[in-house]
Amino acid sequence: MFKLAPSILSADFSELGRQVALIEEGGADLIHVDVMDGHFVPNISFGAAVMKSVKDGTKLNFDVHLMIENPDSYVEDFLTDKTEYITVHQEACRHLHRTVAHIKSLGVKAGVSVNPATPIETLTEILADVDLVLIMSVNPGFGGQKFIDAGIDKVRRLAALREKTGRKFLIEVDGGVNLQNAAALAEAGADILVAGSAVFGAEDVVARTREFKTI
C-alpha cells in the first residue's frame, strides 16, 4: 500500500488551510510542498512562509521538495516540527553527500530527486545515505503535466537496485500521477505517490483523496 502526498502546488491558495483540511479528511499521508525558484526550474512557486502558514491547522507532516539552486542555503528555512522529509535534486547539488548530511544533521529525513533524463545509476554512491529517492515523471517546473510512461520502468529498476543492495530508502514518484497510473506505479515499487491536479482539481477533494487511498 502506497502513501499519498498531495501537492499543494495545485491547491487553491485563496483557501489553502481549507484545502489541506480536505486532504487530511480524505486520508492523505503527507503534504507535498513543491518549492521552485525560477532558476533551477522555469517557474516560481512559494517559500517557507506559505508552508508554515498551514502548519498549526493540520496533523499531516510535510514532504518538502526543493527544486532550487543552492539548496544548502535554504533547507533550514523549511524546518518545522512537522517537516518529515526534505528532498533536493541530484542535478542541483555540486556536493550531494554534503547536502544530504546537512539535512540529516537537522533531524530531518533526507531525499534526493532525479529528473526524467537523469539515469538512476547516478545515485549509486548516495543510496546508503538517503531515506527517500524521488523519481520525477514529468520535467519539473509546472503542475498538471502529462505523465512520462518511462517513469514506471525507472521505478521498477530502482526497486530492483534497492533489493539487490539491501538499502532501505523509500521510492517516491512525482508528476502526472493519477487514478489511471497509480496502481502500476505501486506495483513497480513506489512507496509514496505525489498527486497535485489529480487531487485538488477534483470537484470533491475528499472523495478523490479516498479514491487514491483505495487503490
Please tell me what DSSP assigns to residue 191.
S
| Cell numbers placing 187 | 506495483
Q: Give the whole-angstrom CA distance, residue 131 versus residue 142.
A: 25
Dump pLDDT digits (tens) for 90-136: 999 999 999 999 999 999 999 999 999 999 999 999 999 999 999 99
Residue 4 parent element (H or E): strand 3-6
Positive or negative CA dihedral for 149, 100, 78, 25?
Answer: positive
Task: Note the pLDDT of residue 127.
Answer: 97
Q: Which of 178, 188, 123 is nearest to 7 (CA)?
A: 178
The residues annotated with a catalytic role in the active site are 34, 174
Dump pLDDT digits (tens) for 145-200: 789 999 999 999 999 999 999 999 999 999 999 999 999 999 999 999 999 999 99
Averaged pLDDT, 18-27 = 98
| Residues in a beta bridge with 64 | 33, 86
pTM: 0.96
Q: Give the whole-angstrom CA distance, residue 46 versus residue 214.
A: 31
Question: Which residues, other chains included, contact 17 with Cβ-Cβ below 8 Å and sequence gap of 6+?
Answer: 53, 54, 57
